[in-house]
Amino acid sequence: MSISEVLVVGGKTLRDAGIDGATRDARLLLAQALGIGVDRLTIEAEKTVTQSELETFSAMLDRRVAREPVARILGRRAFWGRDFMVTPDVLDPRPETETLIEAALAGGAVERILDLGTGSGILALTLLAEWPEARAVASDISEDALIVCVKNAGKHGLGPRLSVLVSDWYEQIDGVFDLIVSNPPYIAAAEMGDLSEEVRQFDPFIALSPGGDGLEAYRIIAAGAQNRLAPNGRILVEIGHLQGVAVAGIFANAGLEDITVLPDMDGRDRVVAANMPRK
């Protein structure tokens, strides 16, 4: 079979399984199976696919039919123009998280960054890549997640400017930072059953929900900012799209100022930004 014929079969397999974006997913998976860029699929459309390549592609299709996200099958996720490794130990980064990066960059470069609950490291590492003079501390309660973060740092040549720490939020953190960022677990316990299979089955539970009302991480982050955020320093956190008012209130009660709720590309509340008062 040719590449074009295999793509037709792959796309139909995923559509029949009810996969949204079936054609796109089939193209990404076949390109990986063939070891070529997605753009080459059209150029080499008549090239014959080998039996070994067909078997590899078929196994990938089976995983996608089982609702495993494409990024997890490929082992990488594109974020802010760069590829980052993802494994079962870290959250699969979402496009809406780029809202936080956009807001951080709009505020101007800083020297000292703290990324709480870093996971794959996408927040800290993206900001380091965009701000060549900055340094960052990335913390996570999961040692396995930090291993992924360190590998991503090495891939992008950012290791010398990154420190990683196993820490339960601020527990092991020292020093004062110009910018604190976090994409904490925020799904309420009652909402876990509403998540897609792709999220519920394949993202680490610890990265999705703190239990209860989903707001506990924001209470901890806001309270600890008093000792870890420099005067007039900034704090940016991702939120669930219905949590803007609640998180803004938590930040206000913690003494933070200039609190703003920012929308994502779909117009839904996605990031809460605030400043530490000047002393």
pLDDT digits (tens, 9 = 90+) for 22-45: 999 999 999 999 999 999 999 999
Please choose, from the candidates 210, 28, 237, 207, the residue with its C-alpha nearest in 3D space to the C-alpha of residue 120: 207
Instruction: Kindly compute the dihedral angle of the four CA atoms of residues 129, 130, 135, 138, in this order, to the nearest 10 degrees.
Output: -70
Rounded CA gap, 246 and 255, in Å?
15
CB environment 235-246: b (16+ within 10 A), e (fewer): bbbbbbeebbeb
Which amino acid type is present at position 55?
E
Confidence of residue 278 (pLDDT cuts 50, 70, 90): confident
Q: What does residue 180 show for φ and ψ, rounded to 5 degrees?
A: -115, 130
Dist CA 142 CA 144 (whole Å): 5
* Dist. CA 111–CA 137, nearest whole Å: 11
Per-residue pLDDT of 93-128, as tens digits, reads 999 999 999 999 999 999 999 999 999 999 999 999
Looking at residue 82, its pLDDT comes to 96
Please provide the CATH number assigned to the domain covering 3-66. 1.10.8
Q: In the predicted model, is pLDDT for residue 228 greater than 90? A: yes
Q: What pLDDT sits at residue 88?
A: 95
- Cα(147)–Cα(144) distance, integer angstroms: 5
Buried b (16+ CB within 10 A) or exposed e, 51-61: eebeebbeebb
- Cα of 9 vs its chain's centroid, Å: 31
Mean pLDDT of 263-270: 96
Q: Is the pLDDT of residue 279 over 80?
A: no
Contact by Cβ (8 Å): 176, 112: yes
Q: Where are the domains of the chain?
A: 3-66, 79-275
Euclidean distance between CA atoms 210 and 70, whole angstroms: 26
Percent of the chain whose predicted confidence (pLDDT) is above 70 = 100
| pLDDT tens, residue by residue, 240-255 | 999 999 999 999 999 9
Q: How many CA atoms lie within 13 A of 81 on its CB side?
A: 6
Arithmetic mean of pLDDT over the chain: 96
CA distance 273 to 103: 8
The 10s digit of each residue's pLDDT in 194-226 is 899 999 999 999 999 999 999 999 999 999 999
| Residue 229 CA to its chain's centroid (Å) | 23
Chain-centroid distance, C-alpha 25: 19
- Please tell me what DSSP assigns to residue 205: H
What is the rounded distance in angstroms from the CA atom of residue 108 to the CA atom of residue 101?
11
Task: Please report the pLDDT score of residue 134 as a whole number.
Answer: 98
What's the rounded Cα separation, in Å, for the pair 189 and 192? 6
Domain 79-275 has CATH 2.40.30.10: no
H or E element that contains 226: helix 216-228
CB 30 within 8 A of CB 3: yes
The pLDDT of residue 172: 96
pLDDT tens figures, 63-79: 999 999 999 999 999 99
Neighbours of 102 (CB within 10 A): 13
Q: Which residues, at least 6 apart from 82, have a Cβ–Cβ distance to it below 8 Å?
A: 126, 129, 156
